[in-house]
C-alpha cells in the first residue's frame, strides 16, 4: 500500500485513514475493538472531532498506550477564542494526550485568517508554539471556501469531501494542494454511504498520491474490508471502471450525502435520511426503510413549509425541500409497487 506524506506536516501514513465519526454510535467495547483492529492492521492516522460526542474518549481509551506510534487529528467548531481553548483542553483530556498532530477548524464557512478580528487563527498559532498542536488544518464543504483557504497558504492540510462522484472543480483542489505542498484529506469518500463498493472507492482514491482518505467505520465488517486493502490494494481496472461509470450515471446531479448539518428541522423531519431515501432504497434495498416507523417519518415531509433553514445550513447548497418532495413521491411509488427497487 502507498504511503502518503501530508504536505509539510511531517505526517507519513498508509493511504488508509480511520474516520472516527461513526464510532460515536458504537458502545465502548465495540469501538475499542474496532480501533485496536485498525491499529494492529497497520492504520496509523485517526481523525475525530470535538463535535463527535464521545468519539475522542473512545480513541483515548483504545489507543493511548500506542500514542507515539499513531497520528491523531481532531477539530474545533468554536466560533470564538474562549470556546476554542475549552474545546482543545477537552479534546486533549479525552484523547489522553498532551498534543494532537493536526488541529482543524471544523466545517469552516470562510477562510479564517490572521487579522480577521476573530483572533482564532492567532490562537491556533499560540497552541502550536505551546506544543499542544503540531499542525493547523481546516475542513470545509464548499469548494469556493476550500479554494480560498488553499490559496491563502495558511494551512497545513485541507479536508474536503472527495470521491469518484466529485466534479472537476473538486478534483482540481487535489492538484492545488499538491502545488502548495498542502496535505489533502478526503472525507466522505463513500459519498455518505451511497457508494457501496469499497474496492471501487479505494481504487479511485489510489490514483492520487497526495490524498489521504479517512473511511468512516462503525462495524467490524467495515474495518475488515479496509484492512484487506493493506495487502491487496484495489487498482483501477475494467471492472472497477464499469462500476464507477454506472454509479456516476445513477447518482448524477444533486443528492444528499446524509451529513446532518441541516438538522434539526422545525417540522421534525429527519432530513438527512428522508432527503435520500429513494437512493438508499435503490442502492441497498431494506425492509427496515418500509416499516411503519419510516412511513410516518416520510409522511412528515408533508409538513414542510419551505422555511429555508435547511438550505442555509446545507454545506452542499442543495435545494433541500425539492429533494424531500422528490424522495417522498418516489417512496410512495415504491410502497405501492409502482417502482420495484429489487429489480
Q: What is the pLDDT of residues 102-134, one digit of tens each?
A: 999 999 999 999 999 999 999 999 999 999 999
Does the pLDDT value for residue 83 go beyond 80? Answer: yes
Of 4-8, 96-100, 259-263, 322-326, the range with the lowest mean pLDDT is 259-263
- Report pLDDT for 313: 87
- Report pLDDT for 282: 76
- Report pLDDT for 253: 65
19 pLDDT tier (thresholds 50, 70, 90): very high
306 pLDDT tier (thresholds 50, 70, 90): very high
- Report pLDDT for 284: 66
Q: What is the pLDDT of residues 211-267, one digit of tens each?
A: 999 999 999 999 999 999 999 999 999 999 999 999 888 776 678 888 888 989 999
Spatial distance between the Cα atoms of 291 and 273, rounded to a whole number of angstroms? 14
Burial (CB count within 10 angstroms: exposed 0-12, middle 13-18, buried 19+), residue 270: middle
49 pLDDT tier (thresholds 50, 70, 90): very high
Q: Report the relative pairing of strands 211-216 and 183-187 from DSSP bridges.
A: parallel
Are the C-beta atoms of residues 70 and 105 closer than 8 Å to each other? no
pLDDT average, residue stretch 72-100: 98
- Report pLDDT for 192: 79
C-alpha distance from residue 132 to each of 40, 46, 85, 124, 127 (Å): 26, 17, 11, 9, 5
Neighbours of 125 (CB within 10 A): 13
The b/e string for 53-79 (b: 16+ C-beta within 10 A; e otherwise) is ebbbbbbbbbbeeebeebbbbbbbbbe
164 pLDDT tier (thresholds 50, 70, 90): very high
Amino acid at each position: 500500500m502507498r504511503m502518503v506524506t501530508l504536505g509539510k506536516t511531517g505526517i507519513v501514513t498508509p493511504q488508509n485513514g480511520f474516520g472516527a465519526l461513526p464510532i460515536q454510535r458504537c458502545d465502548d467495547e465495540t469501538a475499542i475493538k474496532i480501533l485496536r483492529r485498525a491499529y494492529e492492521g497497520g492504520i496509523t492516522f485517526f481523525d475525530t472531532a470535538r463535535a463527535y460526542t464521545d468519539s475522542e474518549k473512545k480513541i483515548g481509551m483504545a489507543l493511548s498506550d500506542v500514542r507515539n506510534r499513531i497520528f491523531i487529528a481532531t477539530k474545533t467548531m468554536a466560533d470564538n477564542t474562549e470556546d476554542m481553548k475549552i474545546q482543545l483542553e477537552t479534546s486533549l483530556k479525552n484523547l489522553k494526550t498532551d498534543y494532537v498532530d493536526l488541529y482543524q477548524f471544523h466545517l469552516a464557512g470562510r477562510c479564517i485568517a490572521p487579522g480577521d478580528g476573530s483572533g482564532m487563527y492567532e490562537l491556533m498559532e499560540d497552541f502550536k508554539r505551546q506544543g499542544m498542536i503540531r499542525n493547523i488544518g481546516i475542513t470545509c464543504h464548499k469548494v469556493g471556501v476550500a479554494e480560498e483557504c488553499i490559496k491563502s497558504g495558511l494551512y497545513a492540510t485541507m479536508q474536503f469531501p472527495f470521491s469518484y462522484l466529485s466534479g472537476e472543480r473538486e478534483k482540481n483542489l487535489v492538484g492545488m494542494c499538491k502545488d502548495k505542498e498542502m496535505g489533502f484529506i478526503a472525507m466522505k469518500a463513500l459519498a455518505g454511504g451511497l457508494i457501496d463498493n469499497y474496492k471501487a472507492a479505494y481504487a479511485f482514491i489510489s490514483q492520487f498520491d497526495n490524498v489521504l482518505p479517512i473511511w468512516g467505520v462503525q462495524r467490524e465488517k467495515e474495518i475488515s474490508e479496509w484492512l484487506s486493502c493493506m495487502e491487496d490494494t484495489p487498482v483501477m481496472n475494467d471492472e472497477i471502471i464499469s462500476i464507477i461509470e454506472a454509479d456516476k450515471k445513477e447518482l448524477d446531479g444533486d443528492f444528499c450525502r446524509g451529513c446532518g448539518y441541516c438538522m434539526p428541522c422545525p417540522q421534525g423531519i429527519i432530513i438527512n435520511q428522508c432527503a435520500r431515501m429513494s437512493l438508499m432504497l435503490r442502492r441497498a434495498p431494506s425492509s427496515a426503510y418500509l416499516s411503519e416507523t419510516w412511513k410516518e417519518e416520510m409522511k412528515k415531509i408533508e409538513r414542510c413549509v419551505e422555511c429555508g433553514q435547511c438550505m442555509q445550513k446545507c454545506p452542499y447548497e442543495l435545494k433541500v425541500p425539492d429533494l424531500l418532495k422528490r424522495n417522498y413521491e418516489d417512496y410512495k411509488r415504491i410502497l405501492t409497487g409502482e417502482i420495484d427497487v429489487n429489480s
